[in-house]
Amino acid sequence: MNINIPRGTQDILPGEVEKWQYIEQKAKDICGRFRYSEIRTPIFEHTDLFARGVGDTTDIVQKEMYTFQDRGDRSLTLRPEGTAPVARSYVENKMFGQVSQPVKLFYIGPMFRYERPQAGRYRQFVQFGIEAMGSNDPSIDAEVMALAMTMYQELGLKSIKLVLNTLGDLESRKAHREALIAHFKPRIEEFCSDCQNRLETNPLRILDCKKDRGHELMANAPSIHDYLNEESSAYFSAVKESLDLMGITYVVDPTLVRGLDYYNHTAFEIMSDAEGFGAITTLSGGGRYNGLVEDLGGPATPGIGFAMSLERLLLALKAEGVELPVTNKLDCYLVTMGEEAKSKAPGILFDLRKAGISAEKDYLDKKMKAQFKAADRENAKFVAVLGDDELANEQINIKDLSTGEQVQVPLDEAAQYMKDRL
Ligand code: ATP
Ligand code: MG
């Protein structure tokens, strides 16, 4: 029987997985500097969380969720995104009552969406995201964008651009919504069926339609910027000022809309300009979601966050030809000569490992020459050669493969000798 990997998923093999580990470590480093703490929520949640939290007019809820009944007849869903679970946990664990506010969290883990797989779009993908909950200060909006940009920049991407918009507050959005309906309604039959449904439920999302983006009504659609009330305008200006202070460049795009329903005020995406990145140019997106926590039964709490997938990040790195400084170096390969030495090897190897040295030996009964070859192939810094004669004198030969230098040291000093030189 031949069983293949499910469509839209991938195996990440040794050789590649080191890049993932490097990126994950970078995310954790940056979050430490920006003071975001890790949160780990379950892979599955009650379906209602997403239906309510993500918004039931979104693509995610309408057609992308992996939903199943468990044996207790509960409807559960593999998480398609991280914000609703974090908001749920925030409410459930009463984080709004914590002394230290705002609550700043990050997550890294797999998400699941039933999508048509293509480059940069998978059915299981890994998102790194952050959420800052409990502050309405525009500088935290800027901080979230700064963190996302820092991640890409420190990994070595150059062709990235921050695209910024505001969706305004509820009042501004309402006025804009009515203008959008009036604009599209007379010719809505020229749009796709999704857009026809969106006209009444969520007309803002028409602007985000991938099928109808070329329609002439799109270009002159009412801009949210003409419907911002004073407070929303001031908020947007303050966000931009904070970005300016940090020296982060951005372009304002009044047509930028996020796919999820719960956003207001700040919305942003980070795009790649790199040649060869492909049809999908968005690397990550985020925004402010001031209604979400309340919708999930918590006190009214402002929040802002973003999420990126590691898959798209890796695509961008590849498109820009960036090599991550990943190493899988071996400190010491233990070569044995003779039966006595071979039989003692497990203990010596274990001692090296306990002393903090990465160490390997042969398990296939290879001749000495082949053992040296293996050491080379694994990029060992040192080869420790143990023969029956050395063993009798409790000595071992250590050869530095980079310099060719070779010394004999007492067996119990071998670890320290190498550690001093690593
Ligand atoms: P898109 O418009 O590309 O479908 P989205 O609006 O659905 O994106 P979000 O829900 O905001 O995306 O998710 C944030 C980020 O997660 C995206 O910017 C992208 O980096 C990543 N992402 C979303 N869906 C996928 C997927 N199916 N495969 C890989 N990465 C994804
Ligand atoms: Mg999507």
Mean pLDDT for each consecutive 10-residue tract of the chain (422 residues)?
A: 95 96 98 98 97 84 94 97 97 96 98 95 98 97 98 97 94 91 94 91 85 90 94 97 98 81 86 83 92 92 97 95 91 96 96 97 96 95 95 95 94 96 90
Contact 280, 316 (CB under 8 A): no
**Ligand located closest to 55 CA:** 1
Helical (H) or strand (E) element with 69: strand 66-69
Residue 276 has, within 13 A of its CA and on its CB side, a CA count of: 8
Q: Is the bond preceding 102 in cis, omega lying within 30 degrees of 0?
A: yes
Q: Indicate whether residue 81 lines ligand 1 (CB < 6 A).
A: yes
Structural domains of the chain, with CATH: 17-169+229-319 (3.30.930.10), 332-421 (3.40.50.800)
Helix axis angle for 138-154 and 310-319, nearest 10°, is 50
Helical (H) or strand (E) element with 120: none
Distance CA 298, CA 151 (A): 31
**Ligand located closest to 310 CA:** 1
131 is in an annotated binding site: yes
275 is in an annotated binding site: no
CA 391 to centroid of ligand 1, rounded, Å: 59
Distance CA 353, CA 370 (A): 22
Q: Indicate whether residue 83 lines ligand 1 (CB < 6 A).
A: no
Contact 136, 302 (CB under 8 A): yes
Residue 104 identity (one-letter amino acid)? K
Q: CB count, 10 Å around CB of 161?
A: 15
262 is in an annotated binding site: yes
Q: Indicate whether residue 115 lines ligand 1 (CB < 6 A).
A: yes
Distance CA 78, CA 111 (A): 7
Take atom 5 of ligand 1 and give the residue whose Cα is closest.
Answer: 259
Provide the pLDDT for residue 260. Answer: 59
Q: Indicate whether residue 284 lines ligand 1 (CB < 6 A).
A: yes
Atom of ligand 1 nearest to the CA of 284: 18
Contact 133, 302 (CB under 8 A): yes
81 is in an annotated binding site: yes
Provide the pLDDT for residue 189. Answer: 93
Distance CA 375, CA 385 (A): 11
Q: How far is CA 370 from the centre of its chain?
A: 41
Substitution candidate for ligand 1 out of 312, 314, 315 with most atoms within 8 A of CB: 312
Q: Which two tokens stand for residue 22?
A: 């490097």
CA 97 to centroid of ligand 1, rounded, Å: 32
Contact 115, 65 (CB under 8 A): no
Q: Indicate whether residue 307 lines ligand 1 (CB < 6 A).
A: yes
Provide the pLDDT for residue 221. Answer: 92
Take atom 29 of ligand 1 and give the residue whose Cα is closest.
Answer: 121
Atom of ligand 1 nearest to the CA of 282: 18
Strand bridging mode 303-309 / 37-38? unpaired
Q: Indicate whether residue 130 lines ligand 1 (CB < 6 A).
A: no
Q: Which two tokens stand for residue 54?
A: 């993500």
Strand bridging mode 330-337 / 380-387? parallel
| Block residue for tokens 């039933």 | 114
Q: Which two tokens stand for residue 293?
A: 């926590």
- The DSSP-derived string for 154-206 is HTT--SEEEEEEE---HHHHHHHHHHHHHHHGGGGGGS-HHHHHHHHH-GGGG
Provide the pLDDT for residue 275. Answer: 82
Substitution candidate for ligand 1 out of 81, 309, 314 with most atoms within 8 A of CB: 309
Angle at 365 between CA 362 and CA 368, to 5 degrees: 70
Provide the pLDDT for residue 58. Answer: 81
Helical (H) or strand (E) element with 143: helix 138-154
Provide the pLDDT for residue 261. Answer: 58
CA 81 to centroid of ligand 1, rounded, Å: 9
Distance CA 375, CA 101 (A): 52
The dihedrals phi and psi of 29, each to the nearest 5 degrees, come to -55, -50
Substitution candidate for ligand 1 out of 54, 62, 127, 165 with most atoms within 8 A of CB: 127
Distance CA 204, CA 259 (A): 10
Q: How far is CA 405 from the centre of its chain?
A: 44
127 is in an annotated binding site: yes
Contact 320, 283 (CB under 8 A): no
Q: Which two tokens stand for residue 254?
A: 């009044």
